[in-house]
Structure 1
Amino acid sequence: MAKSDRSSKTEPKTRRKAPLATPSDLHADATQDISAALNGILADVFALYLKTKNFHWHMSGPHFRDYHLLLDEQADQLYAMTDAIAERIRKVGGTTLRSIGHIARLQRISDNDADYVEPLDMLAELREDNQQLAARLREAHNVTDEHRDIASSSLLENWIDETERRTWFLFESSRNAG
């Protein structure tokens, strides 16, 4: 093979701009609405996951073991949601979060950067955050119902149930305490 033949094969080819247009029977407005709703949920779930891990890592006090394990279990559940949410966004033809900065722009769950938070305050804050997430999951469900996206609606129903369970556990764990 001549030198000129080899060099032409190793030169970079011009890349085509290939849109991430996943085939879907949903209309473009449905894809846009559903993707926006689910990306907001995804940002909130990432924010709540990190806050839950933060409180898990910084838990202290007489109920340390129980609270530490509870928050670890809840963080695992939240993290497990992230891939399913992102993949659902892609399945309907949308694009999803790309960075921590993107999460920060969309999240509605407040961060907690305090040096110290009392254990019962941690549980109360996470309970309120999970209640907010459940409400937002219901809002997203309204969007998916409006566009007849049954698969997304079904996933949202399961996540609402899981979120209500986390809320319940956080409530019961802090009842009659202190």
Structure 2
Amino acid sequence: MKPWSVVVLLAVLGMLGRELRAQETDLKNWYSDPFFALSEGFADCQVPLGPFMTRTEMEDDAHYRVERGTTCWLAHKCTKPNSYMYDAPIAEAIHAHFPNPHAFDGTSVWITVQRRFVYAEGCAPASFDVHALQQQLEAIPDVEQVFMRVSTTAHGPLPYKTLAAPNASLADPTN
């Protein structure tokens, strides 16, 4: 092997290593799970992690996700063969149910829909009726369960994981 080819080979291997390390920290919504802001009016409220994960996390979760998705159908609790097939229509129904953009003024609440589960995460003043929002989300057709993770402060520990993780960047936020 010629000396210059060794240098080229080492350079290529170095670039591939950097690319692989970047994939380990880049976050992406690999499964295109619905994730959107219901409101964004609470100052300094951190955006939830939602459905974003690294490639490694996605690969680790793939088999488990298939099992969780088909369990609903196998148990005769779903008419669709996979419970994740309900997620986009549930997200559309949530958008349709809350058409007033000022209904949640003063709050920052993001919605994630996964496997007929709805996660409402964010910040709201203590006067905000979290229970009423939960009841409205539970009334959406095909919703199996609602998880409310809403804090009255944007500072201190939050009841949800955030996108503001060290050494992580958001890859393709539209996905």
Normalised TM-score (structure 2): 0.27
Greater CA radius of gyration, 1 or 2? 1
Normalised TM-score (structure 1): 0.27
Q: Which has the higher strand share?
A: 2
